[in-house]
Chain A
Amino acid sequence: MSNTAPLLQVKNLRVEFPTRRGTLVALDDVSFDIAPGEVLGVVGESGAGKSMTGAAIIGLLEPPGRIARGEILFAGKRIDNLRYEQMRRLRGKEIGAIFQDPLTTLNPLYTVGHQLVETITTHLPLNPAEARKRAIEWLEHVGIPAAAQRIDSYPHEFSGGMRQRVVIALALCAEPKLIVADEPTTALDVSIQAQVIALLKTLAREKGTAMMLVTHDMGVIAETADRVAVMYAGRIAEIGPVREVVKHANHPYSAGLMASIPPLDRRVERLAQIDGAMPRLSAIPQGCAYNPRCPQVFGKCRELRPDLLDAVTTRAACWLYDTETARG
């Protein structure tokens, strides 16, 4: 994949929240690419900045949050500085989004058909009748039985899993090239999480859709992602091919995360607990943000913050991979 021009490029992204007690830096120096059709898994403890990264990409950071530095490029063009209306045209059409909780993502007062048709007619040159036909096809794609009848049902008439299928149909119906899926199964019943992920994966493969898949489920990452980014305290701690990061993590934090993943036959497990807690944004320690919890911490870690360094199989933000440190 390394030779394909990237579909999405995030470069040195910094997101700030001005508050009365100073500026909070929610994301700092976040850089990664996603190639066309590629699935990038994003993992990390709650509060690491995964959702914030997704929100910055789709241009829906909640004010007063703003991109303070860096660039986001989609298909080679900058999208982080577009005006609202220009960015709106990209949302849904080029970059789709799936949120965590299907129970709250659909407007309860409109039928799923209404919501599908309005999305389709917003982005595609179809009349309402054609859009409705397309909507039924999409409901069939995502595995809603009796789609032609169910299209006129309201969200509350579907179960959680079925609603997330509807959400997936809504996110994909204008055939975007990139999907930002933020914990798409976390709110679902464990028994149906695998089906929904399988559906998402199949559709993305079929349509060649690239995906940024945020999840806590290492089993899902192992099965679905091509590459993984591990986030910690608003930065990327490690990024690399899925096999390497899951099996042979280089960064001590990723290693801790992966340490207690059960064997693959017992999938759908939560992240292991690492001693201590991720620092709050207002109290990120000097040097490496992970240093208070890191078993391999040494002098330099408490003074300087490491950038992503080449760790042979992956790239890791850790002084252990600094050639000069190693030498000296």
Chain B
Amino acid sequence: MFAFIINRILQAIPVMLAVALISFAMFAYVGDPVAIMLGQDFTEAQRDALVHDLGLDQPFWVQFATFTGHAIRGEFGLSYRLSRPVAELIGERAPATLELAFCAAVLALAVGVPMGVYTGLYRNSWLSRFFLTFSLVGVSLPTFLIGILLILVFAVWLGWLPSFGRGDTVQLGWWSTGFLTWSGIKALILPSITLGLFQLTLIMRLVRAEMLEVLRTDYIKFARARGLPNRAVHFGHALKNTLVPVITIVGLQLGAIIAFAIVTETVFQWPGMGLLFIQSVGVADIPVMSAYLLLIALVFVSINLIVDLLYYAVDPRLRIGRGKGGH
């Protein structure tokens, strides 16, 4: 088990290094940080000094090593745009994105899985058809359009929910949370739906397809032949066997939720990392962009590890070396 985790972490290192290299290349070669930082008026001496300070006169690999070393310690330098440490900026924005992603993921799972099970079990029911049609809408409408439609209906016409921002937040140490105030919770609703809807429909369709597949297997037929009640057959035997593929996709989608929060955050002016990233792209604020890229890569790699561990928990066939082996 422990060796398995270590093994997975070792496998993740090259991936992170590759992303770091891209990040760094962007840092070093996209735009001219020196020109951006110096502004309009500068002398040749000032320029040389800055180049030296930034280490830009060093060989490529030395620069990359320095960059990586800093990145590991969470140091990405100063934002060109805001002249504040990037780590601090991201730290301020992370709670907003993570709370939003959490709500979207919970919504996608808590609604998507039961809908998938239902449509898998009752293929031809009226409600199943409705869910499937609804899921087509969720899959095909672009996120920004869903966001705008929701704003139009619930914020503009009905006036029930705010159209932008996080509402009132409460500071818990460095973490600012919207969960503790009524306006914070209200502000979360529309963005969570917007962000989670695509994943919700995806999870529903996936669970449905897997259920249909599993319900045809011999062990389900045998479970029925043993006279087990439907509840045990459907939820004990069938649903559990759909979990392995579902965990994979849900894991990847969780990463996607965080990464694609960019669009939702832009539509709702949600003060998270995605909005920070978009604002940084506009002015080529490279340190923020490269830090964000690395962070997203780290999220994906961590989720992958968690997914592997969950497999391990769900599927006994992967737990090698257990028991006495077969004969």
Contacts and interface: CB of A to CB of B under 8 A. Distances in A.
Interface string B166-204: 000000000000000000000000000000000000000
Interface in B219-257: 219, 221-230, 232, 236-237, 240-241
A284 to B, nearest CB: 27
B317 A156 contact: yes
B227 A171 contact: no
Interface stretch (B266-274, B291-299, B319-327): B319-327
A23 interface: no
A101 interface: yes
Interface of B: 217-219, 221-230, 232, 236-237, 240-241, 314-317, 322-327
A107 B237 contact: yes
Contact of B226 (A92, A110, A159): A92
Contacts of B326: 153, 156-159, 162
B237 A157 contact: no
Contacts of A96: 225-226
A97 interface: yes
Given A156-B316, A162-B327, A106 B222 contact: yes
Central interface residue in B228, B317, B326, by most chain A CB within 10 Å: B326
Nearest to B314: A109
Going nearest first, the 8 A-B pairs with the smallest beta carbon separation are: A92-B227, A91-B227, A97-B225, A104-B218, A92-B226, A154-B316, A107-B219, A157-B326
A154 B316 CA distance: 7
A109 B238 CA distance: 10
Contacts of A170: 222, 226
A60 interface: yes
A108 B219 contact: yes
B47 to A, nearest CB: 65
A133 B316 CA distance: 23
A281 B312 CA distance: 46
A157 B240 contact: no
Given A107-B241, A159-B326, A119 B226 contact: yes
B229 A91 contact: no
Nearest to A93: B227
Contact of A101 (B218, B230, B241, B317): B218
A8 to B, nearest CB: 16
B229 to A, nearest CB: 7
Contacts of A162: 326-327
B222 A105 contact: yes
A62 B314 CA distance: 29
Contacts of A101: 218
Contacts of A89: 227
B129 to A, nearest CB: 18
B226 A122 contact: yes
B302 to A, nearest CB: 26
